[in-house]
Structure 1
């Protein structure tokens, strides 16, 4: 592993342990060249995922892009980082178990919407406003009206 500070390629692992949700290995590393310490995470990747965009362009799946979009939606919301990490891991596992490794950006967006709906309603609306490309206040009103209708349908079934 290359040192992120001095680019030395000979770093040493000082400690390894699984993350809390057991989805990755956390490694504390030391660089003998510059003395820096840093942490890396090692995750199992079942298959190489390719995202098919709306314009049919194919790009490699980027977990960090998913994390960043959720960070934006959840900014200043009272949601524990562990719950967000579990949600991301669940989304990635579901994507990896789909078909041949090609997933559409719509499938990813839908899985994120499902996860956010149960995680935080405000973040769900924030994400939906970008994902569904809201342009006017009336778009929000329609979306919130549908949400209210779904909640009353669920309350009626209970």
Structure 2
């Protein structure tokens, strides 16, 4: 199934929320220290998106196509992470992708705590709530999102602590 940041993937993940949102916007510490990680240097996504991330094994992979994000599904013994990823042509395009994700979050989030900064590089959106554990970020022109399919914060934390970018 092909999904696009402009499409319904985030909507599907976030539609489970009620109407009362609790949102905190902070920008002091970048979650998972992604700003301290190496920026991607590989242009081939099949090599860029690792087959193994810590204890997680990539069980599905779809490369990006024009107008469509790439997808990967990772599985560990106790959880799954669904990823979307893309490479933009310009930094303005990266900002637009992050704003689109933020718009989707604003429309659907409830009962979640968020740590958000769209003004830095990397920009990031981190959501944790009863039914969601989600992190979107960029590294240069590359955009990524990781979503614990069961909204498990610990699963997302373990994945993100091992993801290379």
- Give the TM-score of the pair, scaled to structure 1: 0.26
* Structure with max Cα Rg: 1
Question: More helix per residue: 1 or 2?
Answer: 1
TM-score (norm: length of structure 2): 0.25
- Compare relative contact order (CA 8 Å, sep 6+) and give the higher one, 1 or 2: 2
